[in-house]
Amino acid sequence: MIKTVLIVEDLPDVATWLMERTEDIFPGVAVYHAESVAEALRHLVLPSIDLALIDLGLPDGRGENIIRHIKERKPETLCVVTTIFDDSEHLFPALRAGADGYLLKDETNDEFTASLRGIMDGRPPLSSSIAQQVLNYFRPGHSDKVELTNRERDVLHLIANGLSVKQTADALGLKPNTVSGYMKILYQKLRVSNRAEAAIKAVNMGLIDP
């Protein structure tokens, strides 16, 4: 039963729209509003928060930080992202932070309401295009259209199998600095920040064998 809702949204018109949708779906609900990360975290003193609707781009930080704090202090709270961003660069970090759902604010009233109302039936609140992205991501052979040169693929394969930069350089007959340069390019293409993430993403995308 949803009795208390926290809406984290810095745009007044959007915040009002979210409040109206929430009050329509959950009659009698107590709605609290925060316009920033800091203000949202102050609301964690509430005895309970059943549902939190959280924007990702806020004036003083990222919505993912709010999700992490809520899940640490109130793990029973349903955290649902409400955003205009429908790309994987926003979706997957939010899910990794602990988000229980991901809804797009540019959906029609009926679509948004139906997705949010599904909480009452135990359905994960995901916009249809977001659900499709999640399914596509875990399909075998999913590639995200990342193209690697043969040399980049060689470097990635060796790094993913645990070789150091020097070992990779020795194996390929390259200088360590050259391998480091290839790794920088790979990080940019795969949109990751370390070797572990690069290896996992490369396997998931079918770029290398596990």
Q: Please tell me the pTM assigned to this model.
A: 0.67
User: CATH number of the domain at 150-204, please?
Assistant: 1.10.10.10
Amino acid at 166: K
Residue 18 has pLDDT above 90, yes or no: yes
pLDDT at 103: 93
Please state which CATH class domain 4-137 belongs to: alpha beta
CA 87 to chain centre: 9
Instruction: Tell me what the mean pLDDT of segment 110-132 comes to.
Output: 85
Q: Taking the CA atoms of 119, 123, 128 and 132 in sequence, report the sign of the dihedral they define.
A: positive
Instruction: Kindly report, residue by residue over 52-103, the tens digit of the pLDDT.
Output: 999 998 999 999 999 999 999 999 999 999 998 887 778 888 988 999 999 9
d(CA 99, CA 24): 23
- For the segment 69-79, what is each residue's pLDDT rounded down to a tens digit? 999 999 999 99
For the chain, domain boundaries: 4-137, 150-204
Confidence at residue 62, expressed as pLDDT on a 0 to 100 scale: 92
Q: Going by C-beta distance under 8 Å and a sequence separation of 6 or more, which residues neighbour residue 52?
A: 5, 6, 7, 8, 40, 66, 67, 70, 77, 78, 79, 80
* pLDDT tens by residue, 152-168: 888 988 888 778 889 99
Give me the mean pLDDT over the 13-17 stretch. Answer: 93
The CA distance from 73 to 94, in Å, is 17
Tell the burial category of 27 from Cβ atoms under 10 Å away from its Cβ (0-12, 13-18, 19+). exposed
Query: Does 141 have pLDDT greater than 60?
Result: no
